[in-house]
Chain A
Amino acid sequence: DAMVIQNPRYQVTQFGKPVTLSCSQTLNHNVMYWYQQKSSQAPKLLFHYYDKDFNNEADTPDNFQSRRPNTSFCFLDIRSPGLGDAAMYLCATSRVGQPGDEQFFGPGTRLTVL
């Protein structure tokens, strides 16, 4: 089945230790998104790639970076995780031109910062 895959599902890191989260998709969608969802809050967009074009949200901290080496993969890099970065990180994809522009979500990576 076509899907959005995130690895790992659970990630534990130490305060200040860089971490990379991975997302891959078999949907061949041209837009990929990273959302942060803290406990009991709505998902909040960090940034997205429209093909190779990177679009950063204005309030996304510099600590968060992203890479998209090809259509299928997108990475979220947290350079120096703080305790406040503990959250669920959701990857989503969409295909431009599809009516309604539905976003398909992966299962998320739960990040714990010790």
Chain B
Amino acid sequence: AQSVSQHNHHVILSEAASLELGCNYSYGGTVNLFWYVQYPGQHLQLLLKYFSGDPLVKGIKGFEAEFIKSKFSFNLRKPSVQWSDTAEYFCAVTSNQAGTALIFGKGTTLSVSS
């Protein structure tokens, strides 16, 4: 069955700490991979995506993610977090066929203290 697993439910960091959120997926075939962020009271926004090419993907606000096909992983990283990064982070996968559903992980809540 298709699934996405996020390793951490809740991560608490101090400002300037480095961040890595784990994501593993189980999905047959060619995939597109996404990280979405949901700030408190706001809608889901795309942080970054991978669909082909360089497996190291850079997104908005200094985030990056690395697709490791052999490990079925797509971990999210940021070298130095800010208080404004406090949010819910969702990893998601879909096939590269048109109009298919996003399969989301359960999400990781990131709390950054100043």
Instruction: Determine if chain A interacts with chain B.
Output: yes
Measured CB to CB, the residues of A under 8 A from B are 31, 33, 35, 40-45, 48, 50, 55, 57, 90, 92, 94, 96-97, 99-108
Considering the complex, give the chain B residue whose CB is closest to the CB of A103: B102
User: What is the minimal beta-carbon distance from B112 to any residue of chain A, in angstroms?
Assistant: 19
From A42, A50, A57, A103, give the contact of B98 (CB < 8 A). Answer: A50
| Contacting pair A50 B99 (CB below 8 A) | yes
User: What is the minimal beta-carbon distance from B3 to any residue of chain A, in angstroms?
Assistant: 10
Interface of B is mostly: loop
Asked if A42 meets B105 with Cβ closer than 8 Å, knowing A31-B99, A100-B49, the reply is yes
A sample of 26 cross-chain residue pairs with beta-carbon separation below 8 angstroms, ordered by A number, consists of: A35-B102, A40-B106, A42-B4, A42-B104, A42-B106, A42-B107, A43-B44, A43-B90, A43-B102, A50-B98, A50-B99, A57-B101, A90-B43, A90-B44, A92-B44, A96-B99, A97-B98, A99-B51, A100-B49, A101-B51, A105-B43, A105-B44, A105-B45, A106-B43, A107-B42, A107-B43
Asked if B94 CB lies within 8 Å of chain A CBs, one says yes
Taking CB atoms and an 8 Å cut-off, the chain B residues in 8-67 that contact chain A are: 32, 34, 36, 42-46, 49-52
Q: Which residues of A contact B101 (CB under 8 A)?
A: 33, 45, 48, 57
Asked if A31 meets B104 with Cβ closer than 8 Å, knowing A99-B52, A105-B43, the reply is no
Considering the complex, give the chain A residue whose CB is closest to the CB of B94: A101
Considering the complex, give the chain B residue whose CB is closest to the CB of A108: B43
From B42, B43, B46, B100, give the contact of A102 (CB < 8 A). Answer: B46
Asked if B96 CB lies within 8 Å of chain A CBs, one says yes
User: What is the minimal beta-carbon distance from A22 to any residue of chain B, in angstroms?
Assistant: 15
The answer for the CA separation of A105 and B19 in the assembled complex, in Å, is 25
User: What is the minimal beta-carbon distance from B83 to any residue of chain A, in angstroms?
Assistant: 22
User: What is the minimal beta-carbon distance from B111 to any residue of chain A, in angstroms?
Assistant: 14
| Contacting pair A48 B99 (CB below 8 A) | yes
Asked if A101 meets B96 with Cβ closer than 8 Å, knowing A42-B90, A108-B43, the reply is yes
The answer for the CA separation of A28 and B72 in the assembled complex, in Å, is 33
